Amino acid sequence: MSFRARLILAYVALWVLILALTLGIALYSINIGLYGHVERILLRYVGEVAELYASGRAGEISLPRSGPVVVSFYSTSGELLIAPSHGFEHRVPEAYIRAADRNPRPYYAPHFMAAYQAIPGAVVAVSQDTRYIEAISATVRNTLVQGMAFLLPLGALLIVLAARLSLVPLHRAASEVERRGSRNLEPIPYTGPKDDLGVMVEKVNDLLRELREAQERERAFLAEVSHELRTPLTSLSGYLDRLARNPGDTETLERARRIAAHTARMVQDLLALARGEAERSVNPHIVNLVDLLRQAVGEYPGVRLEAPPGFPEVLGDPDRLLQLARNLIANAVRAAGSPEKVRVRVWTVREPTDNPPDPYGSAGEVRTTSTPEMKPPRQPWAVFSVIDQGPGIAPEIMPRLFTRFTRGPEGGTGLGLAIAKQIAEAHGGEIRVASRPGETRFTVFLPLLPEEE
């Protein structure tokens, strides 16, 4: 059963319930109103009769022999003393008469209603036939049933038309989705109001747009990877052909080895980047950041490390953090052209700010952050900078510096900074960069391991 059919059935059932409730409430209100009106008249009349009798004007009491209201008298023991006619049917049971007092009380019977009150030496009762109320109720009930029998199909027809009209945008959207293939990620056309359905279609279109952008990024990534790998593999193939013709050419062999190492590093960077995008998890250990940086600096003889003694520890993945430091140092050495023009500095910041001060640098230095929307948490930071004395980064490259395959004039794969940014953020930190002609500074902020009290 379609959604439209279920909705129509639900509204038709609700319409039937509303009609039934309306019929019941109308009949109940009519009966209560009529019986209440008769009760008020009888109570007032019996009070007037009792007042005349108590004031000694009993002769003024009129006893109608016919009509809607009749008066009768009972003894205090419940015996009928005076009746308006022979075969009087509006008799009040003896138990009620014996319990009568100076306050008028009503009595309901199947076909009449009475009001009775004690007077000196007797009990007076005023009654009225109520079968006309039952006749009125039956007439009203039949009229309402006939009217609702007409309204039921008319309301059902209107519900069907309203449901069809209101569900036209949903039906069009569903038909559009049903006709589509799995590769069609274009937005779903929707011309209806911005209600719940409109918001849902809008969110689905946002999701489709994100999927389409993800596919485009994937295609661009594969194209860039293919382009990046094609050049070194072509060169490697040429060197191998040359070695096949001249196996003793040591210079060609060394060049082939360098290209193979470069290709291996590129593949490793691509795998690390893909793993980081698939899951941003780390394997945390307590890491002495100075020792880790000393190991990374040792792989590039000539790079200087400036660090305070007894540096606190951080919680992180040593392999990932070592990869981060290697990438930054390798980029710095490549940009500066010499390891001697690169230095690594370490310090701590106790009060988090948007631009934690570097005690080694200038006070008013302007930095561009990789994550400007990030708010530093209220905790101490461990900070290290990799500084090179290279030509600096061109201003047009700065906004996309941490994007994959963004390369400066010094070359490289364009993956190291993207991986470094990913690793830093996976540890709850960030990377900031400041550059000017003659100096470029990459600064990494990592949360310090809390000190034990």
Residue 367 sits in a domain whose CATH number is 3.30.565.10
Residues 287 and 433 both lie in one domain: yes
User: Residues 297, 423: one domain?
Assistant: yes
Pairing type for strands 439-447 and 381-388 reads antiparallel
426 and 293 within one domain: yes
Residues 389-418: tens digit of each pLDDT:
888 887 777 766 777 655 554 544 456 787
Are the beta carbons of 330 and 416 closer than 8 angstroms? yes
For 269, 404, 422, the CA distances from 224, given in Å and listed in that order, are: 14, 9, 19
Q: Which residues in the chain show pLDDT less than 50?
A: 63-66, 277-279, 352, 354-355, 359-360, 362-373, 409, 411-413, 452-453
DSSP string for residues in 265-310: HHHHHHHHHHHHHH------EEEEHHHHHHHHHHTSTT-EEE--SS
Same domain? For 271 and 328 the reply is: no
pTM: 0.44
| 171 located within any domain | no
pLDDT digits 0-9 by tens, 252-274: 888 788 778 767 766 766 666 56
Please check whether residues 327 and 429 belong to one and the same domain: yes
Q: Are residues 94 and 74 in the same domain?
A: yes
Structure confidence at residue 106 (pLDDT): 93
Q: For position 260, which CATH number holds?
A: 1.10.287.130
234 vs 229: CA distance, rounded Å: 8
89, 112, 135 - which closes a domain: 135
The predicted structure's pLDDT at residue 269: 61
Which of 90, 115, 135 is the endpoint of a domain? 135
Q: Are residues 303 and 380 in the same domain?
A: yes
From 255, 276, 297, the end of a domain falls on 276
Report yes or no on 95 lying in a domain: yes
Contacts of 13 (CB under 8 A, 6+ apart): none
Do 388 and 258 sit in the same domain of this protein?
no
Q: Tell me whether residue 404 is in a domain.
A: yes
Q: 330 and 369 in one domain?
A: yes
pLDDT for res 273:
59
Confidence at residue 453, expressed as pLDDT on a 0 to 100 scale: 36
Is there a domain that residue 150 lies in? no
Judge whether 140 lies within some domain. Answer: no
* Element containing residue 70 per DSSP (H, E): strand 69-74
Which tokens is 33 given?
Answer: 């109103």
Residue 151 domain-assigned (yes or no): no
pLDDT of residue 279: 43
**Are both 24 and 126 inside the same structural domain?**
yes
Instruction: Let me know whether 214 and 302 are in one domain.
Output: no
Across the beta sheet with 112-119, the strand order is 80-82, 69-74, 122-129, 112-119, 105-108
* Residue 175 within a domain: no
Domain contains 401: yes
**Cα torsion angle, 419, 420, 423, 426, sign:** negative
The residue range of the domain holding 230 is 196-276
Domain of 20, CATH number, reads 3.30.450
| Count of domains for the chain | 3
Give the SS3 label for residue 115.
Answer: strand
Q: By 3-state DSSP, what share of the chain in percent is helix, strand and coil, each rounded to 5? A: 50, 15, 30
Q: Are strands 313-316 and 368-369 parallel, antiparallel or unpaired?
A: unpaired
207 and 89 housed in the same domain: no
pLDDT at site 96: 92
